[in-house]
């Protein structure tokens, strides 16, 4: 609930303060853990809920640990049980040793008895040393395995999620926290749980001894550490909320840091002299986040130490009481040693129990984020029984009254869009910036689902197919294509994983995109690493990268080809070459492309003009020119600009 309030609070502020990556607020709201009624009953109720939530979290963590390594999990549990008994056994040996020494002095015992006890003590100490070595081996191995398992789960789940998930800031924060914090938390939780088990075993065996000497003392030892526990758990949950609320700040800091440290941004930040501005902005955000962490860490430690002193006081009182009993002759020296150890151990056990539990509580809060992330259902999924994709797709596309609004957007990006593309036809989509052209492509690829209307492929609603299978029938190049830090061959091969190793096919795709000539001039031709992130990488120009991305689209021989401004970075000759061959390149495929250059647009068989998310005109170049409307106006405007530059 607090989370919701906090998020709401953040959103409210965002309406008055710009919440961008650069200029957003640098403040972090104080975690409001003390909201709500403060009476004892409500507090107890809240404590009960926390305990129940934490206990419920245990099976999930056990499952995660088990998935990471069953052998190590079993080993860790066994060692834990063993080491739980060790303190009691050690205390008992101390008693035996003292009693046998006293007996030997008084000539009622032999030195042989002392030797036997010493041997026994050696055995127990050796077992203790071995078990702690095994614990540390098992823990570090399990940590490695667990980190891998969870990172793998987070990656696998993220790759299944729908596009909109990546574009929302709340979901992005959740994913970031799941990816960063969660890998270490389950083992931490498991360790706390095992610590709880170990302490419980020690506690049970020791408390029996303490109760037998004085039930009152047992009660004092039990009750004293409770305040320390309450303060621990309160600060534990504060630490969690602070991390969560700092997530947007941390994201902004990452972004600012990347602006200054990433090659692609370096030119512009230098030219505009933005470096010091970004660095200062980063510093201010860093100061705020450090300040909040500092306050929390100091308060947390002061509070737990103060409450801890109370426990120490009661421990000393118990020792004094037992010593006086021994002086009075009511206890033997061995009893004194045993009871002193037992009292101290119960003290440590009780605070250990509480510490372990509050550790579990804190870890569980972080893990909840991981579970919520892993429980997020992908919104674009295959229907229960998807229609099998026919082996040959004709490529007949129909948009029927398609409307689409981005989540949270006030205006629809596409509004009642209807048009039809015949199989094998080439259609150019034109329109002003923001008219909805790229959105149209994203809907066709089923990266989003329409909010109204439907899209048909060969007469079937595309939602009836498995989206993964549908996408195998579409080759696409987006405006913001990816420049993979891989070899030239890999950059192209990724367009069709089934032919990643098919070098002749990759070379053919490169040829079709006009990228072959440049690739052949690279030091290791197709095997040259591209990009500078790794050793020996070669930098390419913007247009050269675009040709590689285009080759990747050609690599997949799908019946539908979708190109979003495929030549925006190409020189005039390369653009001309591509479009004069486009009909041949897209032979037998339904092709859609977006372009702002009308010289290339007119080569399409039909042209779709979008205006404010609606279809304004649709027809051949000649038809649209004859209509003397929007398209004709834009075409003439651009042609005029070229003509004006021709010297008369």
Label the pairing between strands 460-461 and 560-564. Answer: unpaired
Name which of 622, 550, 625, 563 is nearest 591 in CA terms. 563
**Cα gap 87→94, rounded to integer Å:** 11
Q: Which is nearer to ligand ATP, 479 or 620 (CB)?
A: 479
The runs of H, that is alpha helices, within 106-180 are 111-160, 163-167, 169-180
Q: Which is nearer to ligand ATP, 57 or 431 (CB)?
A: 431
Q: Which is nearer to ligand ATP, 293 or 438 (CB)?
A: 438
Query: Could you tell me if 61 and 189 are in contact, meaning their C-beta atoms sit under 8 angstroms apart?
Result: yes
Burial class (CB in 10 A: 0-12, 13-18, 19+), 30: middle
Task: Output the six-digit token pair for 205.
Answer: 């065996």
**Cα gap 246→496, rounded to integer Å:** 40
> What 3-state class would DSSP assign to 475?
strand
Q: Least distance from C-beta 436 to ligand ATP, angstroms?
A: 4
Q: Which is nearer to ligand ATP, 391 or 433 (CB)?
A: 433
**Cα gap 303→295, rounded to integer Å:** 12
H/E stretch holding 560: strand 560-564
Q: Which is nearer to ligand ATP, 97 or 430 (CB)?
A: 430
Q: Which is nearer to ligand ATP, 409 or 646 (CB)?
A: 409
Q: Which is nearer to ligand ATP, 438 or 603 (CB)?
A: 438
Q: Least distance from C-beta 510 to ligand ATP, angstroms?
A: 26
Q: Least distance from C-beta 448 to ligand ATP, angstroms?
A: 9
Q: What residues have CB less than 8 Å from 345, skipping those under 6 apart?
A: 87, 88, 91, 202, 203, 206
Q: Least distance from C-beta 23 to ligand ATP, angstroms?
A: 19
Name which of 628, 566, 553 is nearest 597 in CA terms. 566
Q: Least distance from C-beta 411 to ligand ATP, angstroms?
A: 7
The alpha carbon of residue 366 and the mean position of all alpha carbons in its chain are separated, in whole angstroms, by 12
Q: Least distance from C-beta 611 to ligand ATP, angstroms?
A: 10
Q: Least distance from C-beta 167 to ligand ATP, angstroms?
A: 5
Q: Least distance from C-beta 567 to ligand ATP, angstroms?
A: 14
Looking at the DSSP assignment, which residues form a beta bridge with residue 427? 592, 606
Q: Least distance from C-beta 618 to ligand ATP, angstroms?
A: 16
Q: Which is nearer to ligand ATP, 51 or 447 (CB)?
A: 447
**Residues in contact with ligand ATP by the rule CB under 6 A:** 167, 406, 409, 413, 431, 433-439, 479
Tell me the residue length of the chain: 648
Looking at the DSSP assignment, which residues form a beta bridge with residue 404? 414
Q: Which is nearer to ligand ATP, 35 or 167 (CB)?
A: 167
**Cα gap 297→56, rounded to integer Å:** 28
- Kindly list the distances between the CA atom of residue 433 and the CA atoms of 439, 440, 584, 595, 608, in Å, as whole numbers in the listed order: 12, 13, 29, 11, 15
């Amino acid at each position: 609930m607090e989370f919701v309030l906090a998020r709401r609070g953040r959103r409210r502020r965002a309406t008055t303060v710009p919440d961008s990556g650069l200029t957003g607020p640098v403040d972090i709201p104080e975690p409001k853990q003390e909201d709500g009624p403060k009476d004892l009953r409500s507090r107890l109720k809240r404590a009960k809920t926390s305990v129940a939530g934490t206990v419920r979290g245990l099976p999930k963590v056990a499952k995660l640990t088990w998935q990471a390594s069953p052998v190590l999990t079993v080993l860790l549990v066994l060692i834990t049980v063993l080491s739980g008994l060790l303190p009691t056994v050690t205390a008992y040996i101390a008693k035996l040793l003292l009693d046998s020494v006293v007996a030997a002095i008084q000539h009622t015992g032999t030195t042989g008895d002392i030797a036997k006890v010493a041997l026994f003590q050696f055995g127990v100490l050796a077992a203790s040393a071995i078990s702690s070595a095994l614990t540390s081996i098992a823990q570090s191995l399990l940590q490695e395995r667990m980190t891998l398992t969870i990172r793998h789960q987070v990656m696998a789940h993220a790759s299944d999620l729908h596009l909109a998930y990546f574009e929302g800031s709340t979901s992005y924060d959740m994913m970031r926290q799941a990816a960063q914090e969660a890998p270490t938390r389950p083992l931490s939780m498991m360790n706390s749980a095992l610590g709880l088990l170990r302490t419980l075993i020690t506690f049970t065996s020791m408390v029996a001894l303490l109760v037998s000497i004085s039930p009152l003392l047992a009660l004092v030892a039990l009750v004293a550490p409770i305040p320390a526990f309450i303060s621990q758990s309160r600060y534990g949950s504060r630490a969690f909320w602070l991390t969560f609320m700092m997530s947007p700040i941390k994201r902004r800091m990452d972004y600012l840091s990347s602006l200054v440290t990433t090659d692609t941004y370096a030119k512009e930040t230098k030219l505009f002299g933005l470096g010091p501005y970004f660095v200062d902005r980063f510093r201010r955000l860093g100061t705020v986040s450090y300040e909040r962490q500092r306050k929390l860490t100091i308060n947390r430690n002061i509070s737990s130490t103060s409450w801890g002193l109370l426990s120490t006081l009661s421990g000393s009182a118990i020792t004094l009481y037992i010593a006086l009993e021994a002086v009075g002759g009511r206890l033997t020296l061995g009893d004194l040693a045993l009871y002193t150890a037992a009292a101290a151990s119960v003290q440590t056990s009780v605070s250990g129990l509480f510490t372990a539990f509050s550790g579990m509580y804190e870890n569980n809060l972080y893990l909840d984020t991981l579970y919520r992330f892993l429980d997020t259902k992908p919104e674009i999924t295959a229907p229960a029984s998807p229609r099998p994709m026919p082996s040959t797709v004709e490529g007949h596309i129909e948009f029927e009254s398609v409307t689409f609004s981005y989540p949270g957007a006030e205006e629809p990006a596409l509004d009642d869009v209807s048009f039809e593309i015949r199989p094998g036809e080439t259609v150019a989509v034109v329109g002003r910036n923001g008219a909805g052209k790229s959105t149209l492509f994203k809907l066709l690829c089923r990266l989003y689902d329409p909010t109204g209307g439907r899209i048909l492929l060969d007469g079937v609603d595309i939602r009836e197919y498995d989206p993964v299978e549908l996408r195998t029938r579409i080759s696409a190049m987006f405006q913001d294509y990816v420049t993979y830090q891989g070899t030239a061959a890999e950059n192209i091969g990724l367009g069709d994983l089934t032919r990643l190793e098919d070098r002749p096919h990759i070379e053919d795709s490169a040829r079709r995109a006009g990228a072959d000539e440049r690739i052949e001039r690279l030091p290791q031709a197709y095997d040259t690493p591209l990009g500078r992130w790794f050793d020996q990488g070669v930098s390419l120009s913007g247009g050269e990268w675009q040709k590689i991305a285009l080759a990747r689209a050609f690599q997949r021989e799908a019946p539908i080809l979708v190109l979003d401004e495929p030549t925006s970075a190409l020189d005039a000759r390369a653009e001309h070459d591509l479009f004069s061959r486009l009909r041949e390149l897209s032979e037998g495929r339904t092709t859609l492309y977006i372009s702002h250059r009308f010289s290339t647009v007119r080569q399409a068989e039909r042209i779709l003009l979008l205006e404010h998310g609606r279809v304004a005109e649709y027809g051949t170049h000649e038809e649209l020119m004859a209509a003397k409307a929007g398209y004709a106006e834009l075409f003439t405007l651009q042609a005029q600009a070229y003509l004006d530059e021709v010297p008369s």
